Each structure stands twice: as C-alpha cells, then as structure tokens.
Amino acid sequence: MTAQEVLAESDAPSLMRSVEKLSPKLISKFCDEGDELAIEVYRRTGFMLGLGLANYASVVNPEAFVFTGGIAKAGDWLLDPMQETFEKYVYKNMQGKTKFLVSELDEDNHDVLGASVLAWEVKEYSLFK
Amino acid sequence: MENMEAIETVDKIKTRVVGVDIRIDRTTMAVVDIRGEIVAQDHFPTTDYPDVNDYLTALSENIFALLEENGGYESVRSIGVSAPSASSISGCIENAANLPWKGVIPLAAMLRDRIGLAVALANDAHITALGEKTYGSAHGMKDFVVVTISHGGLGSCFFSNGQPHLGNDGFAGEIGHTCVEINGRECGCGKHGCLETYCSQKGLVRTAQELMAEAKEPTLLSDLPELSIEGITRCCDKGDKVAIEAFRRVGDMLGLGLANYASVVNPEAIIITGDMTAGGKWLLKPMRQAFDEHVFRNIRNKTRILVSILKEGERDVLGASALAWDVKEYSLFK
C-alpha cells in the first residue's frame, strides 16, 4: 500500500512501475539496484515500524526484539530506518540498550518447532492406555 | 528438665510494618498492621534535606518517634519504601530527575543500617499498583494496569500473571513517553509528542490555553485566577463549552494511549489514579469513546476502566507497607 502511495505521488521513474504484482522481496531487489522510490517505500515503512516498536519498548522494556518472517528478509533497507526512528522515539533510559535480532531459525521450521515445545508442556494423555 | 520453664511454647510474630512514601515535596510514614489498617501516620518536608545523609537521619528519627508513640520498635517486622526512579532490583534510587539527591543512592541499605530492620524499596508507580492490588481496585486481579496522572506526568505499572512487570532494566511502564503525535508537543524528556504532554495537568492547561486563544465566544475559563484541573472541571459543570472541549481533547488522547497499552498488554482492568481523576465524566467519557475506537477488536468491551477506590493520601503508604511484607525479615538485634 505504501508502495502504491509512493508511486502515485510522483512521476519519477521506478522499476516498481513495470511490475504487475509488487512483493516485499521484489521491492528489496529494486533497492539493491538503487531504485530511489523503492528505497523510499522501505524508509517510510521503517519509520512507522520504528515508532511502533519504540512505544512498545517504552511500555515493556524488553532486552531484545527478535524479527522473524518478512521483516527479517527485508534486511537493512527496512531495518536501518526502523532502528534510527526507534532510537529517536524510545524513552531515554532505554536508548541504545534494546537489541535487535533477526531470528536464526529456519523460516519453514520456525512454528513447528515452537509448537513442538508447547507439546512437551501439556500433560500426557492417551486414549489407548 | 529443670529448664522447661524457660522454653517458649510458641514463637511470637510481629504484626506491623512501616510504609514510607518519598515524594518530591513531602515524605509520609505510616505504621500499618497485618490487616492493612493504618495505625498511625506522620510526614515531614523532603525538601528540607538537600543532603541525603541528613535526610536519612531525619527519616530514621521520624520513624523511631512514630514507633515510640505507637506500639514500639519491637512490634515492627520490616519497612517498605516508595520513591521516584527507585529500582526494586538494585534497592537504589537511580538518577531521579526531580529529587535533590543526584546519582545512584543505595537507600534501602542505608535505611536498613540506621533502623536495624529489613527494608524493601520500589518505585512509586510499582508501589501504587501494589497498593491497588493489595488493598484497592485491583484486589483479586492478576493482569491489570495502573495509570497515575498527576501535575506533570503520567506514570504506570502493569501486573502480568500476578507479578509486576519491571522490564529488563526496570523501566517498564513508561506509557507517558510513548509518542501519540508525530512532531507534537515538546516533552521534558527531550522528545516530541509524548502522551504526557497532552494528558497531565500541564497538558490539560496547555490545551485549555490554546482553545482560549482560538475561542470566539467568552469562556468562564478567563475568570479563573489560575487554570487547574479543579477549576476547569467546575467550568465544565457550569456548561462552559471551551472547558468541556479541553477535557474532550485530553480524554481523546488518553483513550488512544490507553487503547495502545491495552492492545499490547491485554489487561483485565485499567485503574486510573491521581489528580486528573478529579475531571470525572468530563475526562472519562471522551476517553472511553476513544479507547473503544482504537483498541484491538478482540479486547473491546472486555477491559474494565476503573477509578481507584483508595484515598490519594493513603494509597502509596499502603502499597509501601504491602511491599514491606514481601521482604525477608531481618534484625540487627536478634
């Protein structure tokens, strides 16, 4: 949606214009190729994310944020503006203290692993005993 | 077996604690019994002691004097202390912005050494929430938020699964410094658009001043010697449109801030305490409306919003006394 807004705002050339269906992955790729409007899309998204996470951190004071899924894949085009905004808006006692981590778990196995952990926590039960 | 006479059949327990509420202007001490009844209470000006050692001497003397007249030192188990910027993890007051004592003050250890009893310390927002949980509106709840709105600030603490959520560094609950308006009002913390710049008494007064400057019709607010929560509330009661609009805008922002809070924490209730509750329905109705509009839909109509049932002057000494029961008993003289 942000990409559509950015494209509608100007007539500047962009690789995004020639694509029928935009995806985060494609936009990242265009950023890598130096597309200014694609970079702007991630800059705006990163700003909003950074502001939201700063408010979250001011309330909860976590040790770290761990990113999984699409956010983790977008890479520095998203994370740099996000972190810059975060440090600007988070409560001052927490500035520079909250870590940002990208999950090291395999995307496909992430949730089945989590679900298996939950399975160990439930009381054992069997129909056939 | 001739020594049997000297053996105590049953050991004695101590049935009282002392709660201390350190505020910027005044320090209040209370002797509280096992049922939460305040047996005796006294206070002295915090501002008289710019040196922390002198302050601790005065505090100790005041506590001893209070105990002497009310059951004696021997009846007291432990001491709980509430202070701004205090950490219950370190037992220290850390870089309090508005107290005269700078740096990190190991207040719990200093007071313990002077009185000879166990001392527990926690910050004022944590204590307020503990007071509400033990003796007030949050009694029986496990997941709740307590928000205190006072002159300059908006502080909070939330309990999760029955425990206070302190955060990694002990700074959790800073809802007053979440941004609700990009490039909004300048805050004392150095940022812009913080919730407390709109919802503290200062924020209300500023909103009222802005509205007065724009107003085309006369307003009763112009007749007030000084803009205050009480004064503006009285004008609302008389039907003054500008005063009502001032509270509406403040309530709108507060509702948005609390909706974001609730969407993250999903509390059973949000309990509001502090000076701002004097605004009554003029604040709470628009707040409720904005809250319902912005909160995540699965939580809507499920979060209770309450105004504290405890007296302003008693909540924090009661909370501090509840904290005192949590610390392990200790005595120099045993």
- What is the pLDDT averaged over residues B89-109? 88
Q: How confident is the model at residue A118 (pLDDT cuts 50, 70, 90)?
A: confident
Of the residues B156, B158, B178, the best mutation for testing chain A's interface (the one with the most A CB atoms within 10 Å of its CB) is: B178
- What's the full length of chain B, in residues? 334
E strand residue ranges, chain B: 16-22, 26-33, 38-45, 76-83, 86-87, 92-94, 104-105, 118-123, 144-149, 154-160, 163-164, 269-273, 304-307
* φ, ψ dihedrals at A120, nearest 5°: -70, -20
CA B80 to chain centre: 14
| B65 in reach of chain A (CB within 8 A) | no
| A61 in reach of chain B (CB within 8 A) | yes
What are the residue ranges spanned by the domains of chain B? 12-130+314-326, 140-309
Record: contact A59-B171, CB cut-off 8 A:
no
The DSSP H or E segment spanning B100 is: none
Q: How confident is the model at residue A31 (pLDDT cuts 50, 70, 90)?
A: very high
Nearest-angstrom CA–CA distance, A41 and A65: 22
In this structure, which CATH number among 3.30.420.40, 3.30.470.20, 3.40.50.450, 3.30.720.110 belongs to the domain A2-121? 3.30.420.40
Residue of B nearest to A55 (CA): B178
pLDDT of B3 higher than 80: no
Q: At what angle do helices A24-32 and A36-60 cross, to 10 degrees?
A: 120
Record: contact B171-A56, CB cut-off 8 A:
no
In terms of pLDDT, which residue wins out, B83 or A105? B83
Question: In the prediction, which pLDDT does A59 show?
Answer: 95
Q: Tell how strand B154-160 and strand B304-307 pair up.
A: unpaired
Q: What is the CATH number of domain B12-130+314-326?
A: 3.30.420.40
pLDDT of B176 higher than 80: yes
From chain B, the residues in CB contact with A58 under 8 A are 174-175, 177-178
Dump pLDDT digits (tens) for B47-67. 999 999 999 999 999 999 999
B75 C-beta neighbours (distance < 10 Å), count:
16
Secondary structure of residue A99 in the 3-state scheme: strand
Q: Which of A55, A63, A97 has the CB atom closest to B178's CB atom? A: A55
Residues sharing a CB contact under 8 Å with residue B142, sequence separation 6 or more, in sequence order: B159, B160, B161, B162, B268
- Among B33, B27, B12, residue whose Cα is nearest residue B325: B33
Are B324 and B78 in contact by the 8 Å Cβ rule? The answer is yes
Question: In the prediction, which pLDDT does B197 show?
Answer: 94
Least confident among A67-81, B50-64, B311-325: A67-81
Of the residues B85, B88, B169, B189, the best mutation for testing chain A's interface (the one with the most A CB atoms within 10 Å of its CB) is: B169
Dump pLDDT digits (tens) for B204-231. 999 999 999 998 888 998 889 999 999 9
Are B142 and B161 in contact by the 8 Å Cβ rule? The answer is yes
- Among A68, A70, A65, A129, residue whose Cα is nearest residue A100: A65
Record: contact B177-A97, CB cut-off 8 A:
no
For residue A29, what are its two tokens?
A: 């790729």
Dump pLDDT digits (tens) for B241-283. 999 999 999 999 999 999 999 999 999 999 999 999 999 999 9
pLDDT of A129 higher than 90: no
Nearest-angstrom CA–CA distance, B331 and B53: 22
Q: At what angle do helices B201-214 and B229-237 cross, to 10 degrees?
A: 50
Q: How confident is the model at residue B189 (pLDDT cuts 50, 70, 90)?
A: confident
- What is the pLDDT averaged over residues A11-36? 89
Least confident among B19-23, B105-109, B297-301: B297-301
Are A88 and A125 in contact by the 8 Å Cβ rule? The answer is no
| B170 in reach of chain A (CB within 8 A) | yes
Beta bridge partners of B118: B78
**SS3 track for A32-79:** HCCCHHHHHHHHHHHHHHHHHHHHHHHHHCCCEEEECCHHHHHCHHHH
| A55 in reach of chain B (CB within 8 A) | yes
* Matching residue, tokens 């609950």: B173
Interface pTM, i.e. ipTM: 0.81
Record: contact A60-B260, CB cut-off 8 A:
no
CA-based radius of gyration for chain B: 22
Homologous superfamily of B140-309 = ATPase, nucleotide binding domain (3.30.420.40)
* φ, ψ dihedrals at B244, nearest 5°: -65, -40
* φ, ψ dihedrals at B16, nearest 5°: -135, 155
Are A66 and A101 in contact by the 8 Å Cβ rule? The answer is yes
Nearest-angstrom CA–CA distance, B190 and B193: 10
pTM of the model: 0.86
